[in-house]
Amino acid sequence: MKNMRKWLVLFVLALSTLAVGIDSTVLNLALPTLASKLNATNSELQWFVDSYNLVFAATLIPAGLLGDRFGRKKMLILSLGIFGLSSLLCAYAASPAMLIVYRCTLALGAATLIPTSMSIIPVLFTKGEQPKATAIWVIANTLSMPIGPIIGGWLLNHFWWGSVFLINVPIVLIALIAVTVLMTESKQSHKQTFDLLGIATSSLGLTSITYGVILAGEKSWSNAGVWYAIILGVILLVAFVMWELKCKKPLINLSLFKSRSFSLSNIFMMVISYIMFGYLYILPQYFQNVEGSDTQQAGFKLLPLILGITLGSIIVSRIHLNQKMTITFGFILLIVSGLMGWRTAIDTSYGWVAVWTALAGVGIGAILPATMSTALADLSPDQSGIGSSVIKAIQQIGSTFGVATLGTVLISTYQANVNFRGLPPEAVSWVKKSVTSGIAVAHKLQSQALVHSVRSSFVLGMNSVLFICGVIACCSLIVVWLFLRTSKAKQVN
């Protein structure tokens, strides 16, 4: 493939990844609108999100295998088609049940598209080009998370709710044309039998863990069903590992994890996903409920995070640090960001918040490309698809647990600090549900004291979340210096 051609393909892959990432975050802003327009219950609103996450977790591993086996170009075209058509159907869903079904097919397309697009990087690019190519792909994937609320807020303010899904369609059409014209087919050099038991145990294990975490968000971590699901998932994943070690033709070569750089890179990516989704969970709520911003303003207030991610990747590409120093730089910034966020108060100016948000973005932008390029460099072209799926699955676990556990810290701290004195029992139950409900009740009762109590209690919860993120970043920094070897060959390019 000519040099310019493969970089054009990468641009298209990054654009497609951007569309998938935007879709995964933009829906949260549309939930209140969907509740009124589709007459959706709270349970149905939850399943608009959860159905996508469950199908994504269930199909991620086998989807990566399909590209290696049948051809990456074919699977890219198929996944783009499924994703684009599902987006169109979601936009015009006439009932909650229809939207849930279309969200499932949307997840199927996304679960195939993400690992397949990742797997093409080791095939198209030389070892020297891979860090730069990986950085471009990672930046597109990472930026999509904070960009989603900005685009979603603007669309919901100016168009009907279906526009948040319809925006994917033109992107998919451009990508389909470009992939068809520019890409040549690539797949495994030899036919490999399907490891059906490996596929079943890995997919069911990831699905069970994801379901357990989702259930924890709906109920609580003390619910027995939560731990049954998580323990079952862990047992299935242990069975998967034991089977893969004995299997003559395993789904994935587990000897990859003997590589310290590959294993640690995956751990650090999981940590970054955990922290980043924690930030993305609390910041929109803070901007809307504490600072009083509308959805569009809240989205734009995430710009420091977006600019920080971009700046972080540019900085490390210019100063040419080795992997160890790059990751150290990123985690130090995340520690500082967490401590600054911990000191944020109810009357803190947006300027202070923008600074620690931007620092977190720079840290994330520095770490993710470095760790991803190292992990992908250890994959052979024949196993790039399934290996990419494993990498993405590990990130998915980090993000899912990030929202669930940090969300639990947030709500429990909030509930423990709100002043319920003098409130009727029905009002107390509504205030306990969320900060949004608390503000609504306070306005209905015309109680400025309750407004202040709800907002200050939320900020205390946010302080706890950001302190935990800083501690996790600090522990990760210690791991970097204890276990990650310095290698000039693994310099961030």
pLDDT digits (tens, 9 = 90+) for 358-391: 999 999 989 988 887 777 666 666 666 666 777 7
CB 2, CB 128: distance < 8 Å = no
Q: Tell me: pLDDT of 475 over 90.
A: yes
**240 within a domain of the structure (yes/no):** yes
Q: What share of the chain is helix, strand, coil (3-state, %, to 5)?
A: 85, 0, 15
Please write the tens of the pLDDT for every residue from 276-290. 888 988 888 899 889
Q: What percentage of the chain carries pLDDT values higher than 90?
A: 25
Q: How confident is the model at residue 330 (pLDDT cuts 50, 70, 90)?
A: very high
Indicate the range of 81-90, 163-172, 396-405 predicted with least confidence: 396-405
Domain boundary among 192, 220, 238: 192
Q: Tell me: pLDDT of 198 over 50.
A: yes
Q: How confident is the model at residue 493 (pLDDT cuts 50, 70, 90)?
A: very low
**28 within a domain of the structure (yes/no):** yes
**253 within a domain of the structure (yes/no):** no
Strand pairing partners for 322?
Answer: 491
Phi and psi torsions of 210, nearest 5°: -60, -45
Residues 186 and 201 placed together within one structural domain of the fold: no
- pLDDT the model gives residue 98: 93
> What domain range is 476 assigned to?
259-486
Q: Which helix (H) or strand (E) holds 264?
A: helix 260-289
Rounded to 10 degrees, the C-alpha dihedral 136/140/142/147 comes to: 150
**167 within a domain of the structure (yes/no):** yes
Rounded to 10 degrees, the C-alpha dihedral 292/294/300/305 comes to: 50
- pLDDT the model gives residue 139: 78
Separation of alpha carbons 302 and 79, rounded Å: 30
Mean per-residue pLDDT for 476-489?
Answer: 78
**254 within a domain of the structure (yes/no):** no
CB 195, CB 35: distance < 8 Å = no
Q: Tell me: pLDDT of 41 over 80.
A: no
**491 within a domain of the structure (yes/no):** no
Q: Angle 96-124/384-417 helices, nearest 10 degrees? A: 130
> Residue 80: exposed, middle, or buried by beta-carbon count in 10 A (0-12, 13-18, 19+)?
buried
Separation of alpha carbons 291 and 301, rounded Å: 11
Residues 173 and 264 placed together within one structural domain of the fold: no
Please write the tens of the pLDDT for every residue from 424-461. 888 888 888 778 888 888 888 888 989 999 999 999 99
Residues 187 and 199 placed together within one structural domain of the fold: no
Residues 205 and 339 placed together within one structural domain of the fold: no
Q: Tell me, what CATH number does 168's domain have?
A: 1.20.1250.20
- pLDDT the model gives residue 488: 46
Residues 176 and 209 placed together within one structural domain of the fold: no
Number of H helices, E strands in the chain: 18, 0
Which residues fall within 8 angstroms of residue 92, CB to CB, at 6 or more apart? 162
Residues 90 and 142 placed together within one structural domain of the fold: yes
DSSP classification of residue 162: T
Separation of alpha carbons 342 and 173, rounded Å: 44
Taking the model in full, what pTM does it have? 0.81
Q: Tell me: pLDDT of 179 over 90.
A: no
Residues 16 and 32 placed together within one structural domain of the fold: yes
Q: How confident is the model at residue 78 (pLDDT cuts 50, 70, 90)?
A: very high
The token duo for 22 is 């935007």
**151 within a domain of the structure (yes/no):** yes
Residues 361 and 351 placed together within one structural domain of the fold: yes
Mean per-residue pLDDT for 163-175?
Answer: 88
CB atoms closer than 10 angstroms to residue 94:
8
- pLDDT the model gives residue 364: 93
Residues 187 and 209 placed together within one structural domain of the fold: no
Q: Tell me: pLDDT of 265 over 90.
A: no
The token duo for 3 is 């040099």
- pLDDT the model gives residue 310: 84
Separation of alpha carbons 42 and 32, rounded Å: 10
Domain boundary among 248, 270, 291: 248
Q: Tell me: pLDDT of 311 over 70.
A: yes
Q: Tell me: pLDDT of 189 over 70.
A: no
Residues 86 and 133 placed together within one structural domain of the fold: yes
Residues 359 and 437 placed together within one structural domain of the fold: yes
Residues 124 and 267 placed together within one structural domain of the fold: no
Mean per-residue pLDDT for 186-190?
Answer: 63
**460 within a domain of the structure (yes/no):** yes
Mean per-residue pLDDT for 131-147?
Answer: 77
Q: Tell me: pLDDT of 335 over 50.
A: yes
Strand pairing partners for 457?
Answer: none
Report the candidate in 153, 168, 42, 148 with the shortest Cα–Cα distance to residue 103: 168
> Number of structural domains, the chain?
3
